[in-house]
Amino acid sequence: MIFYSTENKNNTASLSEAVINGLADDKGLYMPEKIKKLPASFFENISNMSFQEMAFEVARNFFGEDIPEADLKEIVFDTLSFDTPLVKVTENIHSLELFHGPTLAFKDVGGRFMARILGYLLREEKENVNVLVATSGDTGSAVANGFYQVDGIKVFVLYPKGKVSNLQEKQFTTLGNNITALEIDGTFDDCQALVKEAFMDQDLKSRHKLTSANSINVARFLPQAFYYFNAWAQLSDEEKAKEVVVSVPSGNLGNITAGIIAQQMGLPIHRFIAANNENDVVYEYIQSGKYTPRKSVETIANAMDVGAPSNFARVLDLYQHDHGQICQILDGARYSDQQIRDIIKKVANTHQYICDPHGATGFASLESSLSKDQVGIFLETAHPAKFHETMEQILGEIEIPEKLKAFLDKEKKSISLSNQYQEFKELIDQQAY
């Protein structure tokens, strides 16, 4: 498979180059040269397939030309050692629970897949690599745990000081070994900017092999398409006959971009909703046709605290920068912190279901927009207990799963940095392979 840059379709790369380099040298994001439709027989048999089996068929479309079938199957099956169940919340709204993996967040799928495929490609290339990843919470824990103790790979996790939950922070600052946590005095956008600048720094890259594990990397965002197929497979035949609307809590837009690609592969999703918190640049674009990135603001749905979503470039590319086309498939919604708190209370009291602050935006956007002949799915992207302090303020005591408790007593190990690039570059020079 050939991958091209969103900045210049003539700037292409192989799978290995796209995954190992992360970002194109013209600052563009890599996109697959073609998105193949899956055959009708796939959808006819999908309800009889395991999550791993259907994911393998999807993965073959993007990675099968470059990775032998047996190796790719092992990567996919090893990645998906957990399920993503669809849970009915109301008569026509379901929650796709993406928090049953090792770090209890949806990014376990992309993080684990990328760790395995990068490890595979590096064995072929016979070289060491440094992974740079910016996080507003769950990406850091999923990537750090996915790459933990993988030979030949060092991971540097950049996160905004004081802007991730205590449990999220513990999941990637307590590992040590090949994982280095960098606490940046700034916002997620500052962390993301440092990573992007490093990729453009030819001086730094002449000394160190760098790649990214953010959703800018094709090996991180493409496998997120897997669970959209799994969600649809779990619907009843009666529900499959209706229009299916999927609401995605949206920050850096990698998740919803993967969903759109699943739709282009033939998955019968009628439309998507990008649910925003007060960082609403996507909502504003849908309403006005104007994209105005800006500094992010801190909210209780911190994984969506993104003011300049990287994957917006991919959405524009998929629809040839045509606002009208984008609006045919994508709606938007936005919610304040107080609205999110109210939604969590309402869903818990009325439907006996606990949403995390991100999933709450997805639920609300469906509840306010679905018609009677439609069925809705919202992505519950992380276990509510990962936002323990916020959830207890809203609902009172909330149980913490044993997987999360295991991190609480461990010692935090992080390095504090300003948001100035030169300081970050000096640290990479000192510690990277």
CA distance 65 to 163: 41
What does the pLDDT look like over 243-297, one tens digit per residue?
999 999 999 999 999 999 999 999 999 999 999 999 999 999 999 999 999 999 9
Options 107, 163, 170, 242, the catalytic residue: 107
The amino acid that residue 126 corresponds to is K
| Average pLDDT in the chain | 95
- Give residue 127's pLDDT: 80
CA distance 101 to 112: 10
Query: What is the token pair recorded at 300?
Result: 């209780």
Lowest-pLDDT choice from 68-72, 149-153, 197-201, 241-245? 149-153
Q: Phi-psi category of 384—alpha, beta or left, where left has phi over 0 and alpha has psi -120 to 50?
A: alpha
pLDDT for residue 119 is more than 90: no
CA distance 144 to 41: 38
Which uninterrupted H or E stretch holds 246? strand 243-249
Residue 271 · residue 177 · CB < 8 Å? no
Residue 154 · residue 427 · CB < 8 Å? no
Confidence category of residue 429, pLDDT binned at 50, 70, 90 = very high
Task: Spell out a b/e string for 76-108, using b for 16 or more CB atoms within 10 Å of the CB, else e.
Answer: beebbebebbbeebbebbbbbbbbbbbbbbbbb
What is the rounded average pLDDT of the residues 304-332? 96
Confidence category of residue 137, pLDDT binned at 50, 70, 90 = confident
- Give residue 403's pLDDT: 86
List, in order, residues 6 or more apart from 397 with CB less than 8 Å away: none
Confidence category of residue 167, pLDDT binned at 50, 70, 90 = confident
**Which of 267, 273, 20 is closest to 127 using CA atoms?**
20
Among the four given CATH numbers 3.40.50.10140, 3.40.50.620, 3.40.50.1100, 3.40.140.10, the one describing domain 70-105+221-401: 3.40.50.1100
pLDDT for residue 218 is more than 80: yes
Strands 179-184 and 153-160: parallel
Confidence category of residue 126, pLDDT binned at 50, 70, 90 = confident
3-state SS assignment for residue 249:
strand
Q: Look up 205 and say whether it is catalytic.
A: no
Calculate what percentage of the chain has a pLDDT beyond 70: 100
Calculate what percentage of the chain has a pLDDT beyond 90: 87
Helices (H) and strands (E) in the chain — how many of each? 21, 14
Strands 271-276 and 330-334: parallel
Which uninterrupted H or E stretch holds 239? helix 237-240
Domain boundaries in the chain? 70-105+221-401
